[in-house]
Amino acid sequence: MSSTASPLAAPEPWDLVAPEYVRELLPVFETFARDALSRTGIGPGQRVVDVAAGPGTLSLLAARKGIHVTAVDFSPQMMGFLRERASKEALSIDTRIGDGMALELREQSFDAAYSLFGLMFFPDRPRGFRELYRVLRPGGRAVVSSWQPMQNSPSINVFFQSLAELMGGSGGPRDGKMPLSDPETCEQEMSSAGFTQVAVHPVNASAEYPSTVAMVESMVRSSAPIVLMARGMGEAWPPLQQALTEKVRATLGDGPQAILFQAYLTTGIRPASTP
């Protein structure tokens, strides 16, 4: 089965958003990364691969524990931030610019494999799952995270629905859905790659903002699809952003806001006895 191509399946939007992605969303993504690490039971001296590693949220947490990390991402900017952050802490991480659907890594060479909010955007997700399986040793565990439907998070839903209305229905994912946004699909796609004991775990994180305006500005700066849209619109974007802010304020008011980030972490094991 092939997956629907996404504009986020290319390096450009991630290169554009890299600085603000780190600055705005690090605490949120660290919550999910810590949970992912805890579900694999990995310890010092073991080897893990972080596919679509972004700025290295999980990679850095793992390296601080003495775990040997190989981080792969197709965005040079994201890899640059990862290397810079690792260097500041004197952490050794093997960083590689590469394709998560065709990993240039040896088969059965890692104790755990992760792809947090990356594999979900691959043009061919089944191939991405198979690559995680291929590089895992027998008995190794994988964790893949994806977003729950945005309507489960009121603030995010208001933001994207408001944008969609201003854009004539084209401002967000259709029906508020993202790839791998239901447990059944998560379980089916990981199982089809050969993983066993597959389970889907709902995990939440939150971010707080002093006002609605601050929340909208943060989302505009740190959301890859919005950054890509703004670049494409050029001078037409600032007035649209102002209209978006006013529309969100009309619904949520002016006061402090909180965004609930809801994800699924899908876990699976490469069986100990494999061909």
* 225 or 155, higher pLDDT: 155
User: Per-residue pLDDT for 83 more than 70?
Assistant: yes
Say if residues 183 and 264 touch (Cβ distance below 8 Å). yes
Q: Domains for the chain: give ranges and CATH numbers.
A: 7-149+177-208+263-269 (3.40.50.150)
What is the token pair recorded at 200? 């889907």
Question: Per-residue pLDDT for 127 more than 90?
Answer: yes
pLDDT tens track for 154-213: 888 899 899 989 988 655 544 446 789 999 999 999 999 999 999 999 999 999 999 999
Arithmetic mean of pLDDT, 100-129: 96
**pLDDT tens track for 36-46:** 999 999 999 99
| C-alpha distances out from residue 125 to 1, 20, 129, 159, 264, Å | 8, 27, 6, 27, 16
Is the predicted pLDDT of residue 26 greater than 90, yes or no?
no
Give mean pLDDT, residues 28-38: 95
User: What whole-number distance in Å separates Cα of residue 220 and Cα of residue 65?
Assistant: 34
Question: For residue 19, is pLDDT > 80?
Answer: no
Q: Please, which residues have CB within 8 angstroms of residue 83's CB and are 6 or more apart in sequence?
A: 93, 95
Sheet with 93-97: strands ordered across: 93-97, 68-73, 47-51, 110-116, 136-147, 257-269, 196-209
Instruction: State the DSSP string of 84-111.
Output: HHHHHTT--EEEEE--TTS--S-TT-EE
What confidence score (pLDDT) does residue 1 get?
Answer: 36
Q: Which is more confidently placed, 219 or 6?
A: 219
Are 37 and 217 contacting, i.e. CB atoms less than 8 angstroms apart?
no
In whole angstroms, what is the distance from residue 26 CA to residue 192 CA? 32
Q: How many residues does the chain have?
A: 275
* pLDDT in the model for residue 78: 83
Q: Identify the bridge partners of residue 205 per DSSP, sorted by sequence position.
A: 261
Q: Is there a contact between 157 and 260 (Cβ–Cβ < 8 Å)? A: no
> 169 or 234, which is more confident?
234
More confident residue, 167 or 51: 51
Q: Which amino acid is at 258?
A: A
Burial class (CB in 10 A: 0-12, 13-18, 19+), 263: buried
| φ, ψ (nearest 5 deg) of residue 102 | -150, 70
